[in-house]
Chain A
Amino acid sequence: AQSVTQLGSHVSVSEGALVLLRCNYSSSVPPYLFWYVQYPNQGLQLLLKYTSAATLVKGINGFEAEFKKSETSFHLTKPSAHMSDAAEYFCAVNRGSRLTFGEGTQLTVNP
């Protein structure tokens, strides 16, 4: 069964610092992977998706993720954190139309 593991339930960075949120997947075939962001009391907003067209995927709000098959990883990065990036981030794999989500990573941005 396909699943994802997010390493680190809480990540704290300073404003302007690099953001790195980790996601590893388990799959016997190249999966379809997604990153979503959730702000308090809101639904999930799609940041980016990997569908095998390119290993480096650029998303909204300056985020990007790199698919590394050798490491079974799909980590999310942003060069410079902004206060508005504080939210919960979910990595997900699509398994036969249904999404299977990781446990989430709460990102805190300190001034």
Chain B
Amino acid sequence: GAGVSQSPRYKVAKRGQDVALRCDPISGHVSLFWYQQALGQGPEFLTYFQNEAQLDKSGLPSDRFFAERPEGSVSTLKIQRTQQEDSAVYLCASSRQGGSNQPQHFGDGTRLSIL
């Protein structure tokens, strides 16, 4: 597709439920990133893939958070046993290559609300 696509756009879950958020990057983009954006704040890094390899997961806040990109394209961010503090917008970004000078292109995000 023309841009990064994320689904669902909105997700409401009850505390304790598991959720899965999907990201479809720009075709051919090698690098894929997940960020978490709390209300009124800038995005915070969660994890980074280059192709199917997860090169950095240091931003994942707990072991309840898990991300995968098994075929080097679509990625899924899974949150187990959701808590209220998980409520945020989850943004996915992709870039053509890895490297600090590469611009990252963002999707519209998934707004997650935990009741």
Contact = CB atoms under 8 A, between A and B. Distances in A.
Contacts of B41: 103-104
A44 B40 CA distance: 14
Interface string A1-44: 00000000000000000000000000000011010100001111
Size bin of chain A's contact surface: 20 to 34
A97 B108 contact: no
Contacts of A104: 40-42
Contact of A90 (B42, B48, B98, B103): B42
Interface of A: 31-32, 34, 36, 41-46, 49, 51, 90, 92, 94-104
A42 B98 contact: no
A31 B100 CA distance: 9
Identify which of B35, B59, B98 gathers the most chain A CB atoms within 10 Å of its CB.
Answer: B35
Q: How large is the interface on B (under 10, 10 to 19, 20 to 34, 35 or more residues)?
A: 20 to 34
B101 A99 contact: no
Contacts of B1: none
A36 B103 CA distance: 10
A23 B106 CA distance: 21
Closest 6 A-B residue pairs measured CB to CB?
A101-B42, A43-B106, A94-B100, A98-B45, A44-B106, A51-B101
B25 interface: no
Contact of B108 (A43, A94, A96, A98): A43
Nearest to A92: B42
